[in-house]
A and B are shown apart, each in its own frame.
Chain A
Amino acid sequence: MGAYLARRLLLIVPTLFGLSLLTFVISHVVPADPAKLAAGPRASEAMVATIRTQYGLDQPLPRQYLTYLGDLLRGDLGQSIMTRHEVTDDLRDRFPATLELSFYAMLLAVCLGVPLGLVAALNQNRWPDQLSRVVAVSSVSIPQFWFGLALQLVLASSLGLLPLSQRLPTLTRPPQRVTGLLTIDSLLAGQPDVFWLAVKHLVLPVIVLAIGSMAIITRTLRGDLLEVMNQDFIRTARAKGLPERRVIAAHTLRNALIPSLTMIGLSIGWTLGGTILVETVFDWPGIGNYAVESATRLDFNPIMGVTLLIGVAIILINLVVDLLYGVLDPRISYR
């Protein structure tokens, strides 16, 4: 296991390298004038020229890439024109908000998706299955940003059941920062009222972010379950007189969950991508919102920072999913 982990970690290096090459091309080769883009829309000609020499944008591209890579390795993602902070600091401030949102969204997606997939598979081609199909296709077809606005309109503005946006009411002081996750920090600080407020603010964005992944998990698990159900060892389990509930829980579900795990891993990436739109709608102070606000101001460094951060996060998640396979499936040995 240790040797496998080491090899798997080593394999990440070229991937990270490729990711840096991709973001380099987007930031240095795609734009007509990268210096102008880095200086921002309101910069004068002189400022653009200064930035061009200061950042070495007049150098040959391979040398520019080496400089860029060196900056990345030192954690230097440049400055944000909008906030006037280092992008790295901004990301550190905002990432917990995105993490909290994505975590609860994934939790909801798995907790709803697995039972729904099970119901669909056990009732193949009957009405619960058809209903789950229509719900699944609707869930991946609905524009997240519009669904979010609709929920705000009905549940927040009209009925006043839930807060409209943000992580906490404006006048509530956030608990002392330990993890940056308000639901944890508020409990650590012994403030159950703040915890409750944070939960209420999470409800709508979490629902909007979760439905797409939920649908994908439901449909994938249904397919995998049906495939496993036709296998000989399930017939054997039934033939030796196991109760049906045990056949499903211990034999079918466990074996179907293994291939579905890949899809759950992939949908974490989806969820992180979805934060771009969901955070914009709910004014959620995370990295998705940060990227969008920067994009509307043509502030380029933060966008590249967010792209890199999400890329790295997904690469690490894929690693964890690979390792989880071994835990769930004893047939896979890490040698």
Chain B
Amino acid sequence: MATDVAAPAASLAAGVAPAATSNLRRRLRRFTRNRVAIVGLGIVSLLVLIAIFAPALAPYPDDAAGAVHAPDALLPPSWAHPFGTDDLGGDVFSRVLIGARYSLAVGVAVVVLAIAIGVPLGAIAGYAGGVTNEIIMRATDIFLTIPGIVLALAIGSALGPGLVNATIALALVWWPGFCRLTQGQVLALREQTFVEAARVVGADGRRVVGRHILPNTLTPITVKISMDIGFVILTAAGLSFIGIGAQPPIPEWGAMVSLGRQFMPDWWWYVTFPGLAIFLAVFGFNMVGDGVRDALDPRGAR
């Protein structure tokens, strides 16, 4: 019975589909015309390839685990060691390549966890309204009051140093942004005619939110994902730099800069190349984010 009544709504959705496809094509075209975004996409693709094939690409893959070659310590950049060597004689180039894996993994893991916490909470708050909304959104506001790195430092030190704990801490810092975004979207969509129609034909709350409201929040959430990954990588590197995140000998870029700092200024390559890697990765993601926002968000496409 319920399926019978829902059928017209389904065909209605099907009727919308062709228009949606051409819309997607237009957005894709808008993205590819943006040269800056394409450069960003190139950097990100290169980063992903490096992360996947790092053990094969790295000339000295063992150095990522902190292998010690004392006679080779602190050699300047050369053909054998393009980025020089660190204080243990490790090849900085190999360590930077393999470090891409950690930065990417943390960036993706934090955003996925933050979505898993924030989106359902935001949907509940926006759809339920009333006291539920107040409680969830006031809690969100308080999380958003404290700068991300400060809160991550506090949670990270409560959990204890380490890459996994830093990832958890960052996810606990990042969910409120997704929660607030989803809540705002759900609040606006809740009053739309097509949602009302779904309710009238007898869909229950979960179905209305899951099938009719949430799919329509995908665009702003996609924009936020693309804008956030770079900042997560940047913050995670900062946490490692101050000793809360990845611990040596893990070749995480922020941790490498922290180690190399003690060998400034004479052994400048030790801090320079891992830091440059962070900058390029974050720059690439932010350029892509900028392009995705311009392509998907009509207001931003001025």
Contact = CB atoms under 8 A, between A and B. Distances in A.
B244 interface: yes
A130 B39 CA distance: 14
23 contacts: A15-B142, A21-B142, A22-B143, A26-B158, A31-B159, A138-B279, A141-B286, A143-B237, A143-B275, A145-B275, A149-B271, A150-B272, A150-B275, A226-B302, A269-B145, A269-B147, A276-B149, A276-B238, A276-B242, A280-B242, A292-B243, A307-B150, A314-B146
B268 interface: yes
A19 interface: yes
Contacts of A138: 279, 283
Interface residues of B, number: 48
Interface string B272-296: 1001101100110011001000000
Q: Give chain A's interface residue range (CB within 8 Å of chain B).
A: 35 or more
A311 B272 contact: no
A19 B242 contact: no
A300 B272 CA distance: 32
Interface string A261-298: 00000000110111011001100000000011001101
Given A26-B158, A146-B257, A277-B238, A314 B145 contact: yes
Nearest to A296: B243
Contacts, number: 149
A38 B147 CA distance: 24
A223 B302 contact: yes
Nearest to B154: A307
B271 A146 contact: yes
Contacts of A146: 257, 271, 275-276, 278-279
Nearest to B231: A140
Contacts of A307: 146, 150-151, 153-154
A285 B36 CA distance: 40
A138 B241 CA distance: 20
Given A143-B234, A146-B278, A134 B36 contact: yes
B257 A295 contact: no
Contacts of A22: 142-143, 146
A26 B282 contact: no
Given A31-B159, A134-B36, A277-B241, A143 B282 contact: yes
Interface string A22-53: 11001100111000010000000000000000
A320 interface: no
Nearest to A294: B157
Interface in B135-175: 138-139, 141-143, 145-151, 153-160
A218 B290 CA distance: 15
A14 B134 CA distance: 12
Interface of A is mostly: helix
B153 A26 contact: no
Contacts of B261: 149, 281
A18 interface: yes
B56 interface: no
A185 B27 CA distance: 57
B271 A295 contact: no
Nearest to A300: B157
B35 to A, nearest CB: 9
A143 B261 CA distance: 14
A295 B153 contact: yes
B153 A276 contact: yes
B302 A277 contact: no
B302 A303 contact: no
A272 B148 CA distance: 11
A156 B215 CA distance: 54
B230 interface: yes
B149 A311 contact: no
Contacts of B271: 146, 149, 153
Given A30-B158, A146-B257, A152-B264, A273 B149 contact: yes
A133 interface: yes
Contacts of B231: 140
Nearest to A34: B158
B122 interface: no
A306 B152 CA distance: 13
B265 interface: yes
B254 interface: yes
A137 interface: yes
Given A22-B143, A276-B150, 15 more contacts: A23-B154, A30-B158, A133-B290, A137-B287, A138-B279, A140-B286, A143-B237, A143-B254, A146-B279, A153-B265, A270-B147, A295-B157, A303-B153, A307-B146, A310-B147
